[in-house]
Chain A
């Protein structure tokens, strides 16, 4: 079975500072990895995803993430935080398997990002 751990339930940064949200996964087969963002009172929006190929993935709003197999990590970064980045972020994993794992996204616990002026 696959699992995801997000390190830090709350992260606070200043506007203009680097954003780093940590995600580690566990999977017995090659994973497919996702980052979603949830703004207050809204659904989940896909930021970026890693399926195969290039390990550095660029997403929307200036975010990117790097798949590191040796570290089982998929950390999310953004060079310069904006006030509008304040939201909750979820890392998720999916695998290419049948049975009850088919199509399932397994989510981390979420990280709330606060951006200070």
Chain B
């Protein structure tokens, strides 16, 4: 089944403790992206990647890092999480990333930083 898999689904952590949220897609998609969802704000793009070793900042990149060493994987790294990063995170992928592309979203990771 074609899908985007995120892990973990739920995570509670303490301020300053480094964490990684994994994202993997099995559709050979070139374009991958991370969003965070906050009530009343919709989804905002954190980082995106157009292909292996090609990443760039989205609208809200502060406090996050990403890497794209393999086409299928696009992990999101929080090196020193803070409470304002408590949010619902979604990974998404698409074949080419063009404006009409269909995007496949993961099921989300709910992160709580205390």
Contact = CB atoms under 8 A, between A and B. Distances in A.
B42 A107 contact: yes
A49 B40 contact: no
Interface range on chain A (Cβ under 8 Å from partner): 20 to 34
Interface string B32-45: 01010000111111
Interface residues of B, number: 29
- Provide the main secondary structure of the chain B interface: strand
Given A96-B98, A103-B98, A109 B42 contact: yes
Interface centre among A9, A42, A105, A110 (most CB of B within 10 A): A105
A105 B104 CA distance: 12
Interface string A92-104: 1011100010111
Interface of B: 4, 31, 33, 35, 40-45, 48, 50, 56-58, 90, 92, 94, 97-103, 105-108
Interface of A: 4, 6, 9, 32, 36, 41-46, 49, 51-52, 90, 92, 94-96, 100, 102-110
6 contacts: A49-B100, A103-B33, A103-B98, A106-B45, A110-B40, A110-B42
